[in-house]
Structure 1
Amino acid sequence: MDVLMTTSWTTDQVLALAPDASSAKSGRDLSNKAKWVTLGQRETAIWGECQGSGSKPYRTQVDLSEPAFRCSCPSRKFPCKHGLGLMLILAADPGALPDAAPPDWVAEWLASRTERAEKKEKKAAEPEKPVDTAAQAKRAAQRDAKVAGGVQELDRWLRDLVRGGLAEIASRPYSYWDTPAKRMVDAQAPGLARMVRDMAGVPATGAGWRERLLERLGRLHLLLQGYGRLESLPAETQADIKAAMGFTVAQEQVLAETGVTDRWFVAAQRVEEEDTLRVQRTWLWGSQSGALALILNFAHASQPLDVSLVSGSVLDADLVFFPGAVPLRALVKTRRDAVPSLSDIPEHGHRTIHAATAAYAAALARSPWLDRYPFALREVCLSPGDERWEVQDAAGQALPIAAAFTQGWRLLGVTGGRPVTVWGEWNGLAFLPLSVWAEGHFYALSGAEK
């Protein structure tokens, strides 16, 4: 494995930070040292001045400890092409950035970051303001009443749909699904709204769509029935049902729990678009605990996403998990400075597809509303397949690769047709590769498709 310390980066890791494909391309164009007037580094900070079309060069600086970016260019993308270009130079040739004392514009930025961090720690240590429990209980009761009404209404709609059969569903307009989904938004059950809207496109997925739609209808029915007798169920099942419905757990409440201490390998990352919201999904694996963890981050429109978790890096930290029968979603509670290398991470993952799908089945039995599950498949090969790409293990078993995946030929080029370890997401129907380990090297596969 490559040794990846805080200041050691690969090209793939840098490109995984790109907000979109055009930024990745522009960043590559700016990885030419000749386009930079000055370059420098000191400890975890790097900086440079890049000559643009104006009279003054753009001042670009990166704090690699998170990483965090700042640039004087007018771009609203984060990181901008100059930040990517500067980091690509570092990845290709660390010696190209000479060790030097930070200029004033870099030193001031670093000092301001330190000051903000100290204020944040001080504020976190302050006693919490008393909570108006009466008002809180009143709001909770009002929402529960709205959700209960929405559940009854959706249950009637679902029964009418099943009673009428699936034969005519394919000819239904989008409004057939959108109307009850909007009603669930009004009932403050956004999770139900998402499940209904997701079903609208199933009839257009080709052969077998009826079985796939029926499976989703069954999960929705199970969720409605579970909510109807919520108090009689185990605490972890209650947590899963409420999460699927769209209830949230305050991060402060989760952070108050005891964390799991480990060296967490940042195995894969993906960014999805949901209306005006961008959702960043980062999968971690604990080298000692063997625990799987999902870190979610959200950003509206052009707001920046968190870039502190870099695919292929290692995080020495305490993670706390949201409640559930299969706890996956987590928060970083405490992060330490010492970051081990990838050589400290043992080989992990399933050697056979049968073992991977069995683990998924076991998780699904405990939490039927899992919409995706992390797979680390060892010693698998990539194949174009008859109709779509697939991954195949030594026993000849294969998983279809999601049609949305467009880097099949790149993955084949990386692997050279040899068995490798691939990390990705399985949704019960298709596997989406997100990263690969080939001959001791790590490659992120999703960055350019954000």
Structure 2
Amino acid sequence: MAIAPRDEYQEEQSQTSCGVTMPWTSEQVLALAPDASSAKNGRGLATLSKWTALGSHETFIWGECQGSGKNPYRTQINLSEPAFRCSCPSRKFPCKHGLGLFLILAEQSNQILESEPPDWVTDWIGSRSQKAEKQAQKKEQSADPIAQAKRAAARQDKVSAGIQELRLWLEDRIRQGLIAVQQDSYQVWDSIAARMVDAQAPGLARRLRDLAGIVHLGSSGHQLLLEQLGQLYLITEGYQRIESLPPEVQADLRTQIGWTMSQEEVLKEPSQTDLWLVVGQRTEVEERLKVRRTWLFGIQSNRFALLLDFAHGNQPFSEHWISGTCLEAEIVFYPSAYPLRALIKARQEAAQLTRAPLGMSVSEAIGKYGSAIAQCPWIEQMPMILSSVILVRDRDCWMLRDAEEHYLPYRSDTDNWTLLALSGGHSFTAFGEWNGKEFRLLSSWIGDELYGL
């Protein structure tokens, strides 16, 4: 077992122990756990006595953990992503062995020495390299342009017919008035949504199904219903004259309709290289589809980038992002009048940012949101970093107050009293998503410590 005496290697850790310079923390590692039981079991395996071998090579670490069987479980981590592999039968990802090994790195990195990887690690390194090469080759292979043009023209005809039908349907709803609309059954909304699916406009179908849940809110839903109907009508209005609009606005309209771009097409767009900080994450479940939003913030460019990851059923996400880490990366944005969604074209090893990024006051952030909406009216979540805010409570309503005494309605998926205790009632830097009505807190910097929420 390649374990070094603590005193001998304490000062020379960066040269003799695990070669990865990223100072991972236990909180960041445990944030990757798929559930509470995995985090607890992983914590129980974060002890050297459980492992018969440990080692590292470049961005890979590995270990053998003795379980109840004859042979130890072989666990490997590629720290540049991070990516995990383990010979145990667990369907959780990462498993408790991966979490335990990662915790040893975070808490006792000088005990994992640089060494030549065994064959089972070398095979994994080679397979990942081959997979990356195949993906690169696939991206270089272009589809038949004639066949692509025919498919695009056929879909264009279906979409145009569907949008014309939706336009007439919306006009009928408005003529009847909101009271009559709210008396419609769900079947009315499901029928027009199904028609949009047939017209190959899944984005419009999703909006219509969402509206079906708003129409029965009574008078409290009038404003929201009218706003959403107005946005749908704006899409139909814009699509009728799409050829006369700027390319970026055309791209936004097609996105709202559900016209997706392949990653190969996106990667041809101009890229931007920066040091990108992972500032927050949120995962939502739509039926059996998990959708994870990961927000990056460019330290030099002072702009946000949104990474979307999808996983079906019990499948794990293919990528893992840890809040508070930085990566030097080349990023390509999807075409838009106000680009947010992006893809990573190339990246380097992760690093740690030791200070919070500069934020804005509430009034500055709302002003920037107004400018963004003017460019792209369909932004659903606007990323914001607010500086020097305090969590306050007014009756049953929690709000964020900045140094200028401006307030922002606030919500969080964590216990507000816990956040209040962490901040001690003092100001902190907050990152979250603004939807035009409330600010959903995703992470906060209290001092130089980042807390993912």
Q: TM-score, normalising length from structure 1?
A: 0.88
Alignment counterpart, residue 49 of structure 1, candidates 64, 71, 79: 64
1:309 deviation in Å?
3.2
Quick one: distance in 2 between partners of 1:206 and 1:384? 28
Residue aligning to 2:141: 128
Residue aligning to 2:362: 353
1:70 deviation in Å?
0.3
Residue aligning to 1:218: 230
297-306 or 38-47: which moved more?
Answer: 38-47
Q: Confirm whether residue 364 of structure 1 aligns to residue 373 of structure 2.
A: yes
Q: Secondary structure, in 3 states, of the residue corresponding to 2:421?
A: helix
The 1:118/1:217 distance shift into structure 2, 3 A limit, reads closer
Q: Secondary structure, in 3 states, of the residue corresponding to 2:178?
A: coil
25-34 or 133-142: which moved more?
Answer: 25-34
Residue aligning to 2:29: 14
**Contact 2:105 2:112 (C-alpha < 8 Å) held by counterparts:** yes
Amino acid at match of 1:440: D
283-292 or 111-120: which moved more?
Answer: 111-120
Q: Give me the CA root mean square deviation.
A: 2.5
Amino acid at match of 1:239: A
Quick one: distance in 1 between partners of 2:99 and 2:184? 47
**Contact 1:284 1:293 (C-alpha < 8 Å) held by counterparts:** yes
Q: Secondary structure, in 3 states, of the residue corresponding to 1:284?
A: strand
**Contact 2:23 2:351 (C-alpha < 8 Å) held by counterparts:** no
**Contact 1:17 1:307 (C-alpha < 8 Å) held by counterparts:** no
1:174 deviation in Å?
2.9
Alignment counterpart, residue 94 of structure 1, candidates 109, 128, 139: 109
Residue aligning to 2:421: 413
Q: How does 1:372-411 map to 2 (within 5 A)?
A: 372-402=381-411, 405-411=413-419
Amino acid at match of 2:358: H
Alignment counterpart, residue 104 of structure 1, candidates 116, 119, 125: 119
Q: Number of paired residues?
A: 434
Quick one: distance in 1 between partners of 2:118 and 2:187? 59
**Contact 1:7 1:44 (C-alpha < 8 Å) held by counterparts:** no
1:156 deviation in Å?
2.3
Q: Secondary structure, in 3 states, of the residue corresponding to 1:89?
A: helix
Which protein is bigger by CA-based radius of gyration? 2
Q: Secondary structure, in 3 states, of the residue corresponding to 2:266?
A: helix
Q: TM-score, normalising length from structure 2?
A: 0.88
Deviations 1:214-243 (A, max 9, x none): 111111111111111111212211111111
Quick one: distance in 2 between partners of 1:152 and 1:307? 40
Quick one: distance in 2 between partners of 1:420 and 1:6? 28
Quick one: distance in 1 between partners of 2:48 and 2:420? 31
Quick one: distance in 1 between partners of 2:101 and 2:135? 29
Q: Secondary structure, in 3 states, of the residue corresponding to 1:360?
A: helix
Q: Which runs of 5 or more residues in structure 2 are unaligned?
A: 1-19
The 1:205/1:438 distance shift into structure 2, 3 A limit, reads farther
1:32 deviation in Å?
4.5
Q: Which runs of 5 or more residues in structure 1 are unaligned?
A: 446-450
Higher relative contact order, structure no. (Cα contacts within 8 Å, ≥ 6 residues apart) = 1
Alignment counterpart, residue 434 of structure 1, candidates 437, 442, 447: 442
The 1:253/1:389 distance shift into structure 2, 3 A limit, reads same
Quick one: distance in 2 between partners of 1:168 and 1:30? 61
